[in-house]
Structure 1
Amino acid sequence: MFAVHCLDYADALPRRLANYDAHKAHLAQGQVKTVISGPLVAGDGETMIGSLFVFSAEKIEDVRAFNAADPFNAANVWQSVSINPFLMRVDNRS
Structure 2
Amino acid sequence: GPQLNLGVHADHVAVRLGWDTRSDLFGRFEFLCRHGGLASRLVGCIEAERMKIRVYASARWPQGSRLTFETETDVPGSFDEVQRRGVWWEI
TM range (shorter): 0.3 to 0.5
- Relative CO higher for 1 or 2, CA cutoff 8 Å, sep ≥ 6? 1
Which TM-score applies when normalising by structure 2? 0.36
Answer 1 or 2: which has greater helix percent.
2
Which TM-score applies when normalising by structure 1? 0.35
